[in-house]
């Protein structure tokens, strides 16, 4: 195992909402995450990052008429455990942490019709790390994210839960 302790990862995601928001039927979403990690023990490290994820709905929803998009953006942080599988180029990866995100609601024209402000949520994930050589790794992962926020529309405050299962394949550079 190399003595390199830092990593940088970029991971595009495909996302599946576990429930709708109000009367908005959420379609399959997409997004990406960018993270930096620091390994402080042989198999355990911390990560911080930023992500953007979008869910479309072609149903008029509570903030207006026409198609509505729900975007969740913000920060990630937590711990990740990466352990080799025997003497192969594969390792398993487990991560758990928090998110500090907000939900924006956008109309057909791309105007933000509601914003939840940032708040804390949580995430868990598991996957593999495949050593590609020259300190490059491929990291297919499945995860779950949960965020509950209040969105104010006019004089009405609505509790919104944006929870989803995410599948992504990241590319990481160890340095």
19-52 tens-digit pLDDT: 988 778 899 999 999 999 999 999 999 999 999 9
Q: Per this entry, what is the length of the chain? A: 175
What's the rounded Cα separation, in Å, for the pair 107 and 95? 34
Flag whether pLDDT at 128 surpasses 60: yes
Flag whether pLDDT at 1 surpasses 60: no
* Mean pLDDT across the chain: 93
Flag whether pLDDT at 60 surpasses 70: no
What's the rounded Cα separation, in Å, for the pair 149 and 130? 36
Average pLDDT estimate for 79-95: 97
What's the rounded Cα separation, in Å, for the pair 53 and 104? 11
Flag whether pLDDT at 129 surpasses 80: yes
Q: Which domains does the chain have, with CATH numbers?
A: 6-174 (2.40.160.20)
Range of lowest pLDDT (22-31, 85-94, 118-127): 22-31
What's the rounded Cα separation, in Å, for the pair 170 and 34? 9
pLDDT of residue 154: 73
Provide Rg for the chain, Cα atoms: 18
Flag whether pLDDT at 59 surpasses 80: no
Q: Are 127 and 145 contacting, i.e. CB atoms less than 8 angstroms apart? A: no
Q: Are 113 and 153 contacting, i.e. CB atoms less than 8 angstroms apart? A: yes
What's the rounded Cα separation, in Å, for the pair 107 and 114? 10
């Amino acid at each position: 195992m190399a003595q390199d302790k830092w990593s940088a990862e970029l991971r595009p995601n495909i996302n599946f909402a576990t429930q709708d928001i109000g009367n908005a039927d959420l379609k399959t979403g997409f997004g990406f995450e960018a993270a930096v990690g620091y390994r402080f023990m042989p198999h355990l490290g911390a990560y911080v990052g930023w992500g953007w994820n979008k869910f479309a709905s072609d149903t008029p929803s509570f903030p207006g008429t026409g198609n509505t998009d729900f975007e969740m953006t913000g920060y990630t942080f937590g711990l990740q455990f990466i352990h080799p599988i025997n003497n192969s180029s594969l390792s398993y990866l487990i991560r758990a942490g928090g998110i500090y995100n907000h939900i924006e609601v956008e109309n057909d024209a791309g105007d933000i019709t509601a914003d939840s402000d940032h708040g804390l949520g949580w995430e868990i994930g598991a996957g593999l790390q495949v050593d590609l050589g020259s300190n490059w790794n491929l990291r297919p992962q499945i995860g779950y994210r949960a965020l509950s926020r209040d969105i104010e529309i006019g004089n009405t405050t609505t509790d919104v839960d944006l929870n989803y299962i995410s599948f992504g394949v990241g590319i990481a550079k160890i340095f």
